[in-house]
């Protein structure tokens, strides 16, 4: 097992190297010029040229790439072209809101979606099953920003139960923290709930047909015991896989959700950096997201061994 973990961790190095090369090259080739953005709308072409030179953006690709890689190897993600702040510092400022949003969304989604899927499978063909699947279709179909605006209108503007926007750090108390996250988490969680509920239902339906479930029923096991102890445990591997894949959905969805609810997270940092062509920030955030994604996949793979003892690496 440890050898496997070490192998997988080492395998992240070429993956990250490829991501680094890809991101750097893509940004190099993409249109846009931070010098022109910095100079402002009233600047002359000469101003733009001088700013470009002062930022070193007029140097050859290989020189810039090798300098960047050299800094990355030293653990330095560089400095934002615009703010002059270290990229590491800017990312650190934004991690907590995004992490909080993802954790709350994940908890909300799992606590709603799994019971929904289980109940839908148990009550297959009934109105409950149809209602759950109808909700799943809705969850997939309605974009996050539409749900976000609707929630904000009803629960913030009309009912005044939650704030419209913003984020309060956890250090300032649980209530202010969670208050700012409820609406964004519900908005972001819709797709995720739909996805997990559908997979849970499909997998449970398959498992509930198995002989050992019939045996459990014949032995007189209770319904909840059959559903949650015998069936759900055996249906867990595909569900966990989908949860892992869904984290990529969450990262993507967080960009929109953070914009709608003005949460100062990594998603907004990425969008702002892309719009301004703040290359060091884009590169730093994309590297971080790739690293997180590789780690999540590793975690999921390891989780399989606990959920299904037959799986060995």
Partner 1 sequence: MRRRSMMMAAMAGPALAQGSAARTLRVIPQANLTSLDPVWTTAVVTRNHGMMVYDNITTVNLAGEVRPQMAEGWEISAEGRQWDFTLRPGLKFHDNEPVRAADCVASIRRWAARDSFGQVLWTAVDELSVLDDRRFRFRLKRPFPFLALAMGRSQGPVPVLPERLAATDPFQQVRDATGSGPFRFVANEWNPGSRAVWAKFDGYVPRQEPVDGLAGGRAARIDRVEWSVIPDPATAANAMQTGEQDYWEYPLHDLLPLIRRNRQVVVEQRLSSGFYGCLRFNHLHAPFNNVAIRRAVAMAVDQRDYLRAVAGEDPAGWGVCEGVFTCDTAMANDEGSEVLKTRNIEAARAALRAAGYNNERVVLVAPGDYPQINALSLVTADLLRRLGMNVEVISADWGTLVQRRTSREPVERGGWSVIHTTAGGDALDTPPVHLFLRSNGRDAWFGWPEDALIEQLRAEWLEAAEPAQARRIAGALNRRAMETLPYVPLGYYWQPSVWRRNVTNVFRSPATVFWGIGKS
Q: Nearest approach, Cβ of 200 to partner 1 (angstroms)? A: 33
Closer Cβ to partner 1, 20 or 51, answer by number: 51
Q: Which of 20, 90, 113, 118 binds partner 1 (CB under 8 A)?
A: 90
Computed from CA positions of residues 285, 287, 290, 296, in that sequence, does the dihedral angle turn out positive or negative? negative
Site string for partner 1, 254-293 (x = CB under 8 A): -----xxxx-x---xx-xx-xxxxx---------------
Count, residues in the chain? 313
Closer Cβ to partner 1, 139 or 267, answer by number: 267
User: For partner 1, which stretch binds (CB under 8 A), given 117-125, 157-165, 241-249, 294-302?
Assistant: 157-165
Site string for partner 1, 132-151 (x = CB under 8 A): -----------------x--
Q: Check binding of 166 to partner 1 (CB under 8 A).
A: yes
Q: Check binding of 161 to partner 1 (CB under 8 A).
A: yes
Q: How many residues bind partner 1 (CB under 8 A)?
A: 57
Which residue, 260, 288, 293, is CA-closest to 190?
Answer: 260
Q: Give the number of other Cβ atoms within 10 Å of residue 12's Cβ.
A: 16
Bridge partners (DSSP) of residue 86 are 79
Token readout for 282 is 């884009």
Residues that bind partner 1 (CB under 8 A): 31-34, 36-48, 50-51, 53-54, 80, 82-85, 90, 93-94, 149, 152-153, 156-157, 160-166, 175-176, 259-262, 264, 268-269, 271-272, 274-278
């Amino acid at each position: 097992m440890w050898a496997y973990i070490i192998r997988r961790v080492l395998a992240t190095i070429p993956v990250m190297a490829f991501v680094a090369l890809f991101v750097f090259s893509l940004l190099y080739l993409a249109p846009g010029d931070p010098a022109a953005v910095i100079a402002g709308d009233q600047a002359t072409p000469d101003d733009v040229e001088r700013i470009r030179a002062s930022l070193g953006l007029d140097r050859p690709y290989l020189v810039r790439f090798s300098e960047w890689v050299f800094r990355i190897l030293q653990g330095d993600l560089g400095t934002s072209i615009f703010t002059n702040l270290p990229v590491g510092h800017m990312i650190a400022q934004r991690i907590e809101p995004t992490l909080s949003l993802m954790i709350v969304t994940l908890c909300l989604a799992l606590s709603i979606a799994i019971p929904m899927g289980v109940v839908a499978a148990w009550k297959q063909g009934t109105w409950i099953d149809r209602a759950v699947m109808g909700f799943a279709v809705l969850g997939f179909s309605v974009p996050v920003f539409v749900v976000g605006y609707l929630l904000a209108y009803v629960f913030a503007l009309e009912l005044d139960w939650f704030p419209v926007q913003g984020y309060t750090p956890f250090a300032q108390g649980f209530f202010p923290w969670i208050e700012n996250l409820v609406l964004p988490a519900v908005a972001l969680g819709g797709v995720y709930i739909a996805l997990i509920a559908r997979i849970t239902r499909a997998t449970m339906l398959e498992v509930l047909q198995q002989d050992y479930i019939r045996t459990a029923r014949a032995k007189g096991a209770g319904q909840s015991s059959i559903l949650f102890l015998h069936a759900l445990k055996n249906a867990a591997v595909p569900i966990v896989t989908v949860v892992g894949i869904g984290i990529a959905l969450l990262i993507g969805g967080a960009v929109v959700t953070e914009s709608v609810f003005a949460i100062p997270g990594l998603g907004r940092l990425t969008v702002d950096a892309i719009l301004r062509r703040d290359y060091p920030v884009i590169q730093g955030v994309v590297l971080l997201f790739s690293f997180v994604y590789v780690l999540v996949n590793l975690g999921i793979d390891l989780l399989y061994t606990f959920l299904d003892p037959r799986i060995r690496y």
